[in-house]
Amino acid sequence: MHTFYGTGTALITPFKKDHSVDYDAFKNLIEFNISSGVDYIVVNGTTAESATTSKEEKAKLLEVALDVNNGRVPVMYGIGGNDTAEVIQRIGSADFKGVDALLSVCPYYNKPSQEGVFQHYKAIAEKCPVPVLAYNVPGRTGINISAKTSIRLSEVKNIFGIKEASGDLVQALEIIKNTPNEFLVISGDDLLAVPTISLGAVGAISVLSNTYPAKFSEMIKAAIQSRFQQATQILARFTEMNPLMYEEGNPVGVKSLLELMGICSSEVRLPLVKASGELIHKIEQAHVKITREYANH
6-226 maps to CATH 3.60.40.10: no
Does the predicted model carry a pTM greater than 0.85?
yes
Report how far residue 165's alpha carbon sits from residue 191's, in angstroms, rounded to the nearest whole number. Answer: 11
- pLDDT score for 1: 46
Q: What does the pLDDT look like over 26-43, one tens digit per residue?
A: 999 999 999 999 999 999
Residue 232, annotated as binding a ligand: no
Domain spans, the chain:
6-226
Residue 47, annotated as binding a ligand: yes
Positions marked active-site:
135, 163
- pLDDT score for 2: 60
CA angle 259, 262, 268 (to 5 degrees): 25
Residue spans of the chain under pLDDT 70: 1-2, 297
Report how far residue 241's alpha carbon sits from residue 239's, in angstroms, rounded to the nearest whole number. Answer: 6
* 13 burial type by CB count under 10 A (0-12 exposed, 13-18 middle, 19+ buried): buried
- pLDDT score for 294: 78
Report how far residue 172's alpha carbon sits from residue 166's, in angstroms, rounded to the nearest whole number. Answer: 9
Q: What does the pLDDT look like over 101-114, one tens digit per residue?
A: 999 999 999 999 99
